[in-house]
Amino acid sequence: MIQYKKLIKSFGTRTILKGIDLHIKAGEIVFILGTSGTGKSVLLKNTVGLMKPDSGEIWIDDENVTDFTEQQFLPVRKKCGMVFQHPALFDSLSIYENIAFGLRKHFVLPENEIKERVEQALSLVNLENVLTKRPGEISYGMQKRVSLARTVVLRPKVLLFDEPTTGLDPVTTNSVNSLIQNLSRKLNTTSMVVSHDMHCALKIADRIVVLDQGQIVDQGTPQELLQSQVPLVRDFLSEARDLL
């Protein structure tokens, strides 16, 4: 579903991604782990055209999108839904209008179908009775779930998550992780999750990819990563030792 071929991205004299080669299969849940500044979020932003690589290629669904214009990226972004670190909801709009926003922008649909899809999306993230509320009237954890509903309502083939559990308490973190796993399975989507949380990755990932200094230093299933001898991976594992 997604292929990165010798992907390089620099900012000034600093090279953030140093020749990334990575293939992600359709239906896979892949966690991209690494310390801050190792290029995890940069990889996601290059995927949907928010940044352009200096060299290398990005393929999505058998299509080379590396040199796409902004206009060409529009259908790609319908296919790839991105959930950012912060909910970024419109405070002046109701929850209903926040979720319906993308549907109105990208599709021409009758109002009854929009309502049906909005309600279905809220049901998928286990939210009810919030349609008429404003973002400021619900908790931060609920806002995160609304932002997820806003993404899945477009029915993308790929879900990209940029540190989705940052700033959440442990209970809500578990809830969001379960949602990522359940949505990926129910909707048969391919999911890439940028994170620094090995604990979460071990629980729900099909495969874990570890970045360090802009390069992949290890990757494999959770079971394979548990046997890793790479120092950075061992450091991450030591923080998740309650699962070992």
pTM over 0.85: yes
Strands 190-195 and 158-162, by their bridges, are parallel
Q: Residues near 185 by Cβ (< 8 Å), separated by ≥ 6?
A: none
Residue 35 covered by a domain: yes
Residue 141 covered by a domain: no
In angstroms, the CA 91 to CA 88 distance is 9
Residue 99 covered by a domain: no
pLDDT of the residue at 218: 96
pLDDT of the residue at 105: 86
User: What single-letter amino acid sits at 82?
Assistant: M
CATH of the domain at 165: 3.40.50.300
Distance between terminal CA atoms of the chain? 31
**pLDDT tens-digit readout, 69-83:** 998 988 888 889 888
**pLDDT tens-digit readout, 153-195:** 998 999 999 988 877 788 888 888 888 898 888 888 999 999 8
pLDDT of the residue at 150: 92
Q: Residues 141-164: what's their mean pLDDT?
A: 90
Residue 145 covered by a domain: no
In angstroms, the CA 51 to CA 143 distance is 26
Mean of pLDDT over the chain: 90
Residue 33 covered by a domain: yes
Residue 139 covered by a domain: no
Give the Cα-Cα-Cα angle 186, 116, 174 (nearest 5 degrees): 40
> Alpha helices, DSSP H only, in 193-230?
198-204, 222-226
The rounded percent of the chain whose pLDDT value lies above 70 is 98
| Host domain of residue 219 | 2-86+158-243
The rounded percent of the chain whose pLDDT value lies above 90 is 61
Residue 71 covered by a domain: yes
pLDDT of the residue at 165: 81
Hey, what are 190's tokens?
């391919």
Residue 40 covered by a domain: yes
**pLDDT tens-digit readout, 90-114:** 999 999 999 999 899 888 899 999 9
- pLDDT band, residue 84 (cuts 50/70/90): confident
Give the Cα-Cα-Cα angle 213, 177, 42 (nearest 5 degrees): 30
In angstroms, the CA 167 to CA 237 distance is 21
What's the total number of domains in the chain?
Answer: 1
